[in-house]
Amino acid sequence: LVMCVTNRVTPQRVADVLLAAGASPAMVDNPDEVHAFSLISKAVYVNTGLHQSQVAALERIASTPTPVILDPVGFGATSYRNEAISDFLSSVKRLTVIKGNANEICGLAGYQGKGQGVDSDASTAIAIEPAKTLANTHECVVGISGDTDIVVSADGKKAIKVVGDVPMMAQITGTGCSLGALVAASVGANIDETPEGQNESSSAFYGALAAHSMFTAAAVRASARTDVRGPGGLSIALMDELAQLAGDPVAVMEAVELHECAV
């Protein structure tokens, strides 16, 4: 079960992606129940849409002992958004993963990014150093999504690049939000299976890497289908391919390449 506190543009897409991947979504942002609901979830996905009820919900979520995956959507767009996201970041009890585009990761770490709102023109490669800074500061895994996804370990000593760019994905609303939720599902499942006494940061890292790999593989496979002629077809095919890849890591690795980055 993944509790998703997300923006009001993409909740159905986020829920559909989780269902296609074999997870169970719960779209909850009522401040009066988010904390209690988080306690029965394997992971909490926080996507900072920052509509009014969500802002109140963030205060209640911060203290949850459940792993939290933060997607700092639009960081850098406005001073209000920057302050709200930074406040949550400083108060959350069990931050496990930060997942954002290059602009959001750069901005959150105090570096100069390049983007507008939730969009980013920057290559993910420029965000490796900022991601390492965030990982070391917050002791969490950092995922960078974009032209080539990169996942950085919680100690900042390892970074893996997931190769498989599909430019048309930028024309589909909510792909980044969906990826963040998939990261939450994968990380939550991995941590839940971590033997007692072992460091869960490694489980979080490989869970995040598995989610980035699966989502990229689904996009690559979907874009190669002969019936996909534009973003509408790609959107539907993406969901179908996610369902086909669920529980099939061999098929995932046949569609993408993983390379270790210098850190």
Q: Please give, one letter per residue, the 3-state secondary structure of 208-243.
A: HHHHHHHHHHHHHHHHCCCCCCCHHHHHHHHHHHHH
Asked if residue 118 has pLDDT above 70, the reply is no
Q: What are phi and psi of 66, to 5 degrees?
A: -80, 140
Query: CA-CA distance, 111 to 67, in Å (whole number)?
Result: 26
Neighbouring residues of 119: CB distance < 8 A, sequence distance ≥ 6 = 101, 103, 170
Is the pTM value of this prediction over 0.75? yes
Whether pLDDT at 113 is above 80: no
Res 93 pLDDT > 90: yes
| For residues 156-176, average pLDDT | 95
Radius of gyration for the chain, computed over Cα atoms and rounded to the nearest angstrom: 17
Q: Which of 180, 28, 207 is nearest to 98 (CA)?
A: 180
Type of residue numbered 88: F
Q: 197 pLDDT band (50/70/90 cuts)?
A: confident
Quick one: pLDDT at residue 51? 84
Any idea what DSSP says for residue 262?
P
Average pLDDT, the chain: 93
The SS3 of residue 95 is: strand
For residue 205, what pLDDT is reported?
98
Which residues face 258 on adjacent strands?
162
Q: What percent of the chain has pLDDT over 70?
A: 96
Question: E strands along the chain, which residues?
Answer: 2-5, 25-27, 43-47, 68-71, 95-101, 115-116, 119-120, 141-145, 149-152, 159-163, 257-260
